[in-house]
Amino acid sequence: MFLLGVPLLIIPLAFYNIVVFLLPGLEWAQPLAQVPTPSGTTWILTLGDFLIAVSMFILFLEFAKSIRSEGRNGVDHVLSVLLFVGMLAEFLLVKQAATPTFFLLLVACLVDMIAGFSLSIKEARRKVVFEGIDQAQPPRRA
């Protein structure tokens, strides 16, 4: 239950930072697997591609988490905004974060933040109740 309030996209961010700062010689373009395809070419999966693919799955989990309607949505949004601002600052200020892989992680975080706010606004509109307005008949046409 604790993980419901934590933005799950912090997991790929943590993995990225661990790889970049603890394993400085490791490249994101390093192949992890080579898969022959029926067309005769070889598809190469790199470390950066793998991290982005995992992040897209985590982004789906974030969407599923945003759909639930509980009172903790405000905390989720604040933490998502803080994560995005922190990632944006790291992208702009840290040399090791200026990579296409980190940029795509940043975009995933932005999409999560925007989707969370959009779903919350849509949910709030459904909960709006107008009091004091009678169910009047539509005006007659002359």
Decide if 136 is inside a domain: no
Say if CB 9 and CB 58 are below 8 A apart: yes
Rounded distance, CA 49 to CA 40, Å?
Answer: 21
Q: At residue 113, does pLDDT exceed 70?
A: yes
Report how many helices (DSSP H) and strands (DSSP E) the chain contains, helices first.
4, 2
Q: Answer whether residue 90 is part of any domain.
A: yes
User: pLDDT, tens digit, for every residue of 18-49?
Assistant: 999 998 888 888 888 999 999 989 999 999 99
Say how far apart CA 14 and CA 115 lie, in whole Å: 22
Alpha carbon 52 to its chain centroid, in Å, reads: 11
Nearest CA to 91 out of 102, 75, 83, 79 is that of 102
Q: What is the band of 55 on the pLDDT scale with cuts at 50, 70, 90? A: very high
Provide the pLDDT for residue 1. Answer: 47
74 located within any domain:
yes
Q: Is residue 108 part of a domain?
A: yes
pLDDT per position as a tens digit, 56-93: 999 998 888 777 655 556 777 888 889 999 999 999 99
Domain containing 9: what range? 2-127
Provide the domain count of the chain: 1
Residue 142 inside a domain? The answer is no
